[in-house]
Structure 1
C-alpha cells in the first residue's frame, strides 16, 4: 500500500472489538480515533484516547470510519459522518427500519460519499466458493435455498428482534448467492423470551426466477448452527458458515439397480465432495475490500442500496408475520 488511511471506529462493543483488532493489523490503514459512550470495555484502544461519540472521531480527523454501535444509533452516527464527507462502513443491519435506512442512503448519495455495509457473511470463503460454482452452472437450475441460523440469545442485542439482527444475514446471502431478488415472503414469528421483539422466525420466500426459499432463524436454541443448503437439478451444496466448509452432494446415476426402486422418478445419492480452499477471516476480507474502495482501487463492498433492499425484505417478513399474509417485496 502506498497510502495510509486514517481510520476511525465508533462503537467498541462485541463487534467493535473485532473491528479494532483487524483495523490495527490491516496494511494501509492506521486506526487513529475510537469512540464509545461506554468507554473501552474490551481493552482494544491500545493507549489511544476513547471519546464518547462520533464528534470525537471527526475532531481528530479521519479518512474513513467503521460504525459498530447498536442498530438504533446507526442513522445519526452514519449521517454525521456523511455530512463530514467521511467514507463509512456501517455494521449490518443498515438501520432500524426502512425509513431510517432510506435517510442514511440519501445522506451519502446526495454528498457523493462512499458508504458500505458490514454484511460480513458475503466474505465467508465457503459462500464465495458456492456463488462462483453456481455461476459456472455446477448445480444446473437452482430451485431451492434453505437456511438455518440458530443459537442462544445474545444479551448484547436489545433494540431489534431476530429478523433484523440475524435474519438480514440470510436475506442478503440468499439474494447475493443466487443473484435473484426475493419477490414475496410469508413469515411467522414468536415471542418466547419475554422481550418486546420476536425471537424466532420461519420464512418461506419466492425468488424472481421461481426458486423457493425457506429460512429458520432463532435465539432459542442451546446450540449454534449456521447452514445454507442450495439445491438444483444437478445436486446440492451444503455450506457450513461457522466452519467455512462447502460440500457438494451430486445426484446419482439415472438408472437404479434394484427393481424395487426402479420406478422412482426423483434423484438418488451420488458422489459427495468436500472442497478444500483457503479460509481467510471474513471480517478481514470485508475490511480489505472497504479499504480498497476508499482508495479507489476496488469496489467489492456491500452498497448502501443493496443493504436498504435487505431492510425492505426484512420489513416485509415482519409485515407478513403481523398480518398472517404473504407480502410482496
Structure 2
C-alpha cells in the first residue's frame, strides 16, 4: 500500500480524535496539523503546527481532514480543491445548500475525492442493519424512526441542532434505505436562549415510499441514539451508543382470543440481539476515505450526498409545520 501524506486542519474536540486515528492509520502518515488557535489538546507531537490551510498545502499533502467550524468549510474546502488536494470535511458539509453545491462542484471538476464526515454510517449496528436490509431480512421497508437526544454541547456555536445532530439522521436514513428524501415537515423550538433551534420533531417521505420521523434535541438530560427500522418481517433497533443491533420478528402464533382476531396487524415474535464485531466508527470512516483516495472500492459519504443532506436540513429549519417538497 502506498503511503499517503495527510494533513489535519482543526484540532478542537473532534479534531483531536481525527489526529489520534490518522496517527495510527495504516498506509497514511499525518505530516502536519494546522489550527490558528494552537494545539489545546497537545496532539501535534513533533509534527509542524501551522496556522492556515495555505501553510498546510505548502507542506505537500495528498489529502486533508477538515475539522474546523462549519462557517469555514467552504473557504478551506475550495482552497484544497484548487491545490489538487483530496479532502474529507466534517459534517455538515457547509453552511447552506449553495456553499455545499460549490464545494461538490469544485472537487468534481478537479477530479478529486471529497467526502463528508457523517460518522454514524460507520457505526457497527447500522453497518449490520444495512447489510441485512440488502439481504432482504426485513422484506419491504416501511418506516425509519430516529431519536437523537441529549444535553447541549458547549462547543457548538455556529449551527443549530438540525445541522449539527439532525444531519446524522438524515444521512443514515437515506443511506440505510438507499432512498432519497422527497418531502419533509418539521416543528422546531428555541428554549435555551440561543440564536439557533435546539429541538426538532420532523417527519419525511422517501423516494421508495418509506416514511420517516426524527426527534432531535439538546434539551434532554440523558443521551439517546436510536434508529428503529420497521419492515414487512419485523424491525431492527440500532443503538449507536452501544453499537447493538436487535431484531424483533413478527410473530406467527395464531391468536385464539376472538375479539383480537379482527385486528389484522402483526404480533410479537422472536427477539434476537446480534453478536457483531464493533470496530471504532471513526477508524472505519478514515479507512474508507483512504481507500477511496487510492482508487479502491470504498463506501464514503460523497460531497453530492452531503449537499443533499444539507438541503433536507434547511427544509426542516424553514418548514414551520408545512410540508416542503425537495
Q: TM-score range by the shorter chain?
A: over 0.9
Is the CA contact (8 Å cut-off) linking 1:33 and 1:56 kept in structure 2?
A: no
Counterpart Cα distance in 1 of 2:3 and 2:208: 44
Partner of 1:273: 272
Tell me, what secondary structure is at the counterpart of 1:221?
strand
TM-score, normalised relative to structure 2: 0.98
Q: How does 1:46-195 map to 2 (within 5 A)?
A: 46-195=45-194
Contact 2:31 2:48 in 1 (8 A): no
**Matched residues in 2 for 1:301 and 1:209: separation?**
22
1:47 is displaced (CA, Å) by 2.3
Q: Distance in 1 between matches of 2:113 and 2:50?
A: 24
Alpha-carbon distance in 2 for matches of 1:225, 1:175: 20
- Provide the rounded CA distance (Å) in 2 between the counterparts of 1:106 and 1:42: 34
> 1:266 Cα deviation (Å)?
1.3
Aligned-pair CA distance for 1:181: 1.0
Q: Find the partner of 1:326 among 315, 320, 323.
A: 323
> Where do 1:282-293 residues align within 5 Å?
282-293=281-292
Q: TM-score, normalised by structure 1?
A: 0.97
| Match status 1:21 vs 2:32 | no
Question: Any idea what SS the aligned residue of 1:223 has?
Answer: strand
How far does residue 59 in structure 1 lie from its aligned partner after superposition? 1.6
Task: Provide the rounded CA distance (Å) in 1 between the counterparts of 2:113 and 2:272.
Answer: 40
Q: Secondary structure at the match of 2:205?
A: strand
Q: What's the CA shift for 1:218? A: 0.4
* CA deviation map 1:263-305 (0-9, x unaligned): 3321111000000011100100010011111111233211111
1:194-228 CA distances to partner (integer Å, 9 max, x unpaired)? 00000001101111222211000001111010000
Measured against aligned partners, the alpha-carbon deviations of 1:45-94 in whole angstroms (never above 9, x if no partner) come to: 11222111111211211111100000111110111100000011001110
**Over aligned residues, Cα RMSD in angstroms?**
1.1
Gaps of 5+ in 1: none
SS of 1:151's partner is: strand
CA distance in 2, matches of 1:6, 1:80: 17
CA deviation vs aligned residue, 1:97-122 (integer Å, no higher than 9, x gap): 01111111121112112111111111
SS at match of 1:242: coil
Tell me whether 269-278 or 38-47 shows the greater mean CA deviation: 38-47
Q: What is the CA–CA distance in structure 2 between the aligned matches of 1:48 and 1:121, rounded to whole Å?
A: 30
Separation (CA, whole Å) in 1 of partners of 2:112 and 2:133 = 33
More moved, 103-112 vs 12-21: 103-112
| Separation in structure 2 between the aligned mates of residue 38 and residue 252 of structure 1, nearest angstrom | 57
Deviation for aligned residue 1:260: 4.6
Consecutive unaligned residues in structure 2, runs of 5 or more: none
- Cα deviation digits, residues 152-176 of structure 1 (max 9, x gap): 1011111110111111100001110
Q: In structure 2, the residue corresponding to 1:79 is in which secondary structure?
A: helix
Give the corresponding residue for 1:309: 308
| Correspondence for 1:246 | 245
